[in-house]
Amino acid sequence: MTRLTESAGTAGEGFGVATEEEKEMGNTDITQRAQYERSDLLAGGEGIRRGSEKAAAVYTVIALIIGVALSVVALATIENWAQWVVLGVIVAFTVAVMVAIGPNRQGSGSSFKVGR
């Protein structure tokens, strides 16, 4: 008898002592185990609790109001063509960054949805 077979104990335990997770998983059926493992494999953070959807909506409305107010003030204070050019470059850069880091771009990982 070798050292590995002595530490294996009874059949079905494998090599060495079972961890707490293995002991916990021993009493689950195949459906429970599949659901447990699936939650670890979700891509894109679906398993992360995002919080209140109402709070996100309130934040969005407040941010839009402040953004519109600041835009009106900026447009009212522009005096010459050079300032329009600077504003145009800022807007173009912002749009380019939004496209570059958007969730629908190729390679963003959004196509790796497990179980869908």
For residue 53 the two structure tokens come to 């959807």
Residue 113's Cβ-side half-sphere holds a number of Cα atoms within 13 Å equal to 6
The SS3 of residue 102 is coil
Please check whether residue 7 is in contact with residue 14, taking contact to mean a CB–CB distance below 8 angstroms.
no
Residue spans of the domains in the chain: they are 3-41
Select the more confidently predicted residue: 14 or 101: 101
How does the average pLDDT of the chain come out, rounded? 74
Q: Over the stretch 54-91, which tens digit does the pLDDT of each residue have?
A: 888 899 999 999 999 999 999 999 999 999 999 999 99
**Six-digit token pair at 38?**
């699936």
Mean pLDDT over residues 25-37, rounded? 69
36-48 pLDDT, tens per residue? 666 555 555 554 5
More confident site: 97 or 55 = 97
As to burial, measured by CB atoms within 10 angstroms (0-12 exposed, 13-18 middle, 19+ buried), residue 25 is middle
Look up the pTM and report it.
Answer: 0.45
